[in-house]
Amino acid sequence: MSSVGAVVACLEEFAPSNLAEHWDNVGLLVGDRSWPVERIMTCLSITPAVLAEAIQGKAQLIVTHHPLPFHAVKTVNSDSTVGRLLLKLIAAQIAVCSPHTAFDSARVGINQHLAIGLGLQEIAPMIPANGSDPEVGSGRFGTLAEDLTLLQLVARVKSFLGIESLHVVGRDEQVVSRVAIACGSGGSFLAQAVELKCDGFITGETNYHTCLEAEARNLALVLPGHFASERFALLSLADYLTDLLPGVEVWASRTEQDPLRRL
C-alpha cells in the first residue's frame, strides 16, 4: 500500500517539476496526498472512455501525461467536459497527477527515449534546463550513426513507434544526418532545430505554416502524430512505477486510442 503523496514524490524524483515549461500545470492536480493507493493507471490523456476504464479497474490514482485540468478553472460543474470529468474523478475518489513537460524533458524522459530509440548519438537537449545537469532540458538533438535519406528515417520512425503512416515535409531522397526531436506538438522548436544546424526534425504534430517554414529552410520534417510520439512512454512509465512501488498494481490504459484516424 502506498499513498498519493508517496507516488507524487516518486514522480517528482523521476521528472522534477522545475523542468516543466512555464505555461504548464504539473504535479498533483486532483486529490488528497493522504489517500491510499494500491492501483494506478497511466494514460496520455483523461477522456470519458479512459476515466471509465479507471473507475472500472478501481484505480485510485491516474498518472496522466496531459494535465487535467490544464487551464485555470473557475467552475466545476457538468456544463463542460473538463467539469464533468473532474466531478466524476472526485466522486470516485481518484487522484490525478501529471508530469507532462517535466517528463518530456527529464533525463530519462520521452524525448530522450525517442532519441535513443531512433539511434541518435551525442544526444543533448535542444534547450538545456537552467541548472547544473547538462543532460536535461527541452527537446533533444543528435547525429545519426550514418546519414539516412528522409525515406529511411521515416521507416525507422514508423518501426520504433509501431505506426503505419505519418506526415512528412521534404523530398524522399533528402539526406538527414543531424536530427532534432520534440514529442507532442513541438513546432515552436523549429527555429531552434535550424539554429542547431539540424537537417531533420521529428515532432508529433504541427500546423501548416510551420510545415511551410520547414520546407523553406530545407529541413526534413517528420510528423508521426501527437498520440504516437508520446503514448509509448506511458507504457514504460507504468513499468517504472511497478518496479518502484512494491504491492501497487500499475497498468497503462488499455482503452486509450488516437482520436485521429487516417482513412
Residue nearest to Zn ion (CB): 184
- Applying the rule CB under 5 A, the residues between 159 and 178 that interact with Zn ion are none
Sequence-separated (6 or more) residues with CB below 8 Å from residue 147? 175, 176, 177
Nearer to Zn ion, 192 or 203 (CB): 203
Compute the C-alpha angle 134/138/141, nearest 5°: 75
Structure-block grid coordinates of residue 139: 527537446
Cell numbers 487522484 correspond to what residue?
95
Q: Least distance in Å: CB of 2 to Zn ion? A: 26
- Which of 99, 126, 123, 129 has the alpha carbon at shortest distance from 234? 99
Site string for Zn ion, 175-214 (x = CB under 5 A): ---------x------------------------------
Q: Which stretch binds Zn ion (CB under 5 A): 2-10, 28-36, 223-231, 251-259?
A: 223-231
Q: Do 223 and 167 form a contact (C-beta atoms < 8 A)?
A: yes
Q: Least distance in Å: CB of 202 to Zn ion? A: 14
What is the Cα–Cα distance from 41 to 62, expressed in whole angstroms? 5
Nearer to Zn ion, 144 or 237 (CB): 237
Q: Least distance in Å: CB of 6 to Zn ion? A: 26
Nearer to Zn ion, 142 or 184 (CB): 184
Q: Least distance in Å: CB of 259 to Zn ion? A: 13
What is the Cα–Cα distance from 30 to 21, expressed in whole angstroms? 20
Q: Least distance in Å: CB of 233 to Zn ion? A: 10
Q: Do 153 and 160 form a contact (C-beta atoms < 8 A)?
A: no
Residues that bind Zn ion (CB under 5 A): 184, 230
